[in-house]
Structure 1
Amino acid sequence: MIDQTDRKILNILSKDAKASLKELGNACNMSPTAVHLRLKKLEDQKIVTGSKSLIDTYQLGYQTQSFIGIYFNKANIYRTVSKALLEIDEVVECNYTTGNFSLLIKVVCRDNKHLTEVLSNKIQTIDGVARTETFICLEQTFTREIEF
């Protein structure tokens, strides 16, 4: 189980993965060594599984972000299709869902032409994919982690 101090550490790290042990310690009234031990415990429990930097893909020329619903032509192919999608660099997120489609994926492309190529030549050619429904994101208003 995690306590309030663990939650505070997790909330800080969810906003700034580069927060130093000293910064975490100051926020929690603990020594950096004590924070390190808590982080090790959270990692051992698989609550913390890594850290990442957020990269503004738009600034790097990837200006089309879309969400694509994938419909299967037969049941029980979720894992096979998911593995094939993992091989497509432009697919940055994959979710098995309820509702009209079986998978909802997030795709990042340079432009609409690039998106069309990814859809036609990579996603729609996967065995078991019956059809897709694409939603182009006009603006990402915000993204955040949940508070603990």
Structure 2
Amino acid sequence: MKLDEIDKRIIGALQADGRRPYSRIATELGVSESVVRYRAQKLEQAGVLQVVGIADPLRIGFDRMALIGLKVRPGSLDAVCHAITAFPETSYVAAIAGSYDVIVEVVCRDTAHFTEVLTQRLHHVDGVLSTESFLVLEIHKMAYGWGVGEVATTAELA
């Protein structure tokens, strides 16, 4: 999907505040509310945009958060990623370049839950050769407002 300037500005506005009313975004961009609503829905349907509430898991009762680097058997990257995305504990799964083939973020209730996810499920995914875990001690930044810049007002667009 090719994004134009209005799409990018809608994304930027919703990244800054996912609860911002379409009417306010429309006013800031100098377009109608229906244009903003239609475009936001189109962006969501295309998988470009997802508006969700983000919470720090370590502050809402989850005691273990970790990043896990995986080395996978050649030719099994897509199957491994697909299998792991089905785990309810995974919040991020990405194929990467470097020392690992996949990086996974998991959020678990406690050490026992993390141990079960790692040793009883992740290690049993066909194609996983090895793992290395990095426990998150404290989150200093969790941001999702990248890539589209600031929202311009009508005056700035003119």
Tell me the TM-score normalised to structure 2 length.
0.79
Q: Determine the structure 1 residue equivalent to 2:92.
A: 93
Counterpart for residue 51 of structure 2: 51
Within a 5 Å distance, the mapping from 1:40-119 to structure 2 comes to 40=41, 42-43=43-44, 46=46, 48-72=48-72, 74-119=73-118
What is the total number of aligned residue pairs between the two structures?
Answer: 146
Shift of 1:76: 0.4
**Equivalent position SS for 1:67:** strand
- Measured in 2, the distance between the counterparts of 1:103 and 1:55 equals 24
**Secondary structure, counterpart of 2:124 in structure 1:** coil
RMSD (Å) for aligned C-alpha atoms: 2.2
How many percent identity over aligned positions?
Answer: 26
C-alpha distance in 2, partners of 1:104/1:95?
Answer: 5
Counterpart for residue 120 of structure 1: 119
- Is the aligned partner of 1:21 residue 2:22? yes
Could you tell me how far 1:90 is from its partner in structure 2? 0.9
Q: Which amino acid letter does the alignment assign opposite residue 124 of structure 2?
A: T
> What is the DSSP-based 3-state SS (H/G/I as helix, E as strand, rest coil) of the residue aligned with 1:124?
helix
Q: Over residues 65-109 of structure 1, what are the superposed CA-to-partner deviations in whole Å (9 max), with x where a residue is unaligned?
A: 11000112x310112212221222111111111111111100111
Gaps of 5+ in 1: none
- In the alignment, which residue of structure 1 is the partner of 2:156? none
The residue number in structure 1 matching 2:155 is none
TM-score normalised over the length of structure 1? 0.84
Deviation at 1:15, TM superposition (A): 2.0
Which structure is higher in RCO with an 8 Å CA cutoff and minimum separation 6? 2
- Per-residue CA deviation, residues 99-146 of structure 1 (Å, 9 max, x unaligned), is 111111001111223211211111111122121100111122112221
- Mark the runs of 5 or more structure 2 residues left unpaired by the alignment: 149-158
Contact 2:11/2:49, CA 8 A, preserved across alignment: no
| Structure 1 pair 3–84 and aligned structure 2 pair: CA distance change class (3 A) | closer
